[in-house]
Amino acid sequence: MTEIVSPKFLVFLDFDGVLHPVDANEHERFNPEAVSSINRILDELDAKLVLSTAWRMDYGFDHFNAWFNGKIIGSTPVHNLDLKIEYPRFNEVINFLKLHEWICVPWISIDDKRSHFPINSPAYITDSKIGITKKDTENIIKIGHSMKFLQQSLLSHLNECIHTD
């Protein structure tokens, strides 16, 4: 596997309840407008995409990469989602970040299950009956820019502290 350069920002994406309503039938899945919204988020935030959806277990991420302009760089570890563990998706994200040594890379997870994430984690929760909306897209972009700004400010401050000691 080729070594991937540390991304500037990561988006962890669930499909069901985000790209289409959770109860969508076969013909309603993968709404093109929802895919376009994710691509807009990736472009605006200069982000790479990591799949955290159960769909990754059946198809792998290469199957979906054309939809997202080649910006998928991986998927969270493939194992059965253990719902007995508190915050299962959050733990998958953290395991992915640790595995790649990207724990300091700003990220957001787009999912429809609040119970899979701690309340103060960078998870944006969509309405599972609708999926991602234009308002959600705008909010995610604003949150992402804020996270990037805060990280740059913190790193700048730390750099100043190091050089003034």
107 beta partners? 10
20, amino acid identity:
H
pLDDT grade for 1, boundaries at 50, 70 and 90: very low
94 beta partners? none
Q: Which tokens is 131 given?
A: 């999926």
What distance in Å separates the CA atoms of residue 36 and residue 39, rounded to the nearest whole number? Answer: 5
pLDDT tens digits for 22-37? 887 777 788 889 999 9
Mean pLDDT of the chain: 84
Judge contact between 35 and 18, C-beta under 8 A: no
* Angle, vertex CA 64, rays to CA 145 and CA 35, nearest 5: 50
Q: Which tokens is 53 given?
A: 């959806």
Give the pLDDT score at 22.
85
Higher pLDDT, 37 or 165: 37
Q: Which tokens is 78 given?
A: 């493939």
